[in-house]
Amino acid sequence: MDNNANSVESIKTTLKLIPILKTQFNVKRNADEDDPLLFIGVAESNLIDKLRPVVEVHFGAPYKPAGESAFWKNLFDSFVKNIGGIRTEQTLFKKEISPTLALFCAFWPWGSNPVNTSIRIGLLCESEEEEQALAKEVKAFFR
């Protein structure tokens, strides 16, 4: 099996998390989001402590846990910069698939409504060509 096929299988295996979030935690997908390599759902914030260990099974320990300062990561970490940055109260998970490809999961509590937390699961590719190629193979898993 070549590297691309290995990458796709690793991505598909990790994305089995999305149906678990939907069924076990009643995470509702944001229907306004149409990026083929991004899932955005909303969960009640009181479920995050129960949800975190399930995410860790698929992603490992948080890359940046909630409560930890994100100042240096926002300035110098290209991965964090490429996903748009991270705040202290947010949690970020990262799973490297290859040197140019990473999956991420982020918990973003709503400042305007602390009862809710967005859960974002996405694929970050180094090149647009790689993104387009993978979108064809894995976009259905983000639904």
Average pLDDT of the segment spanning 36-40: 88
Tell me what pLDDT residue 59 has: 97
Instruction: Render 25-71 in DSSP notation, one character per residue.
Output: H-PEE-TT---TTEEEEEEEGGGHHHHHHHHHHHH-S-SB-TTS--H
Average pLDDT of the segment spanning 27-53: 89
Range of the domain at 57: 3-142
Provide the residue type at 64 as one letter: K
Per-residue pLDDT for 33 more than 80? no
The domain total for the chain is 1
Tell me what pLDDT residue 134 has: 85
Per-residue pLDDT for 1 more than 60? no
**Per-residue confidence at 97, pLDDT binned at 50, 70, 90?**
very high
Average pLDDT of the segment spanning 83-98: 94
Average pLDDT of the segment spanning 84-109: 94
Mean of per-residue pLDDT scores for the chain: 90
pTM to 2 decimal places: 0.90
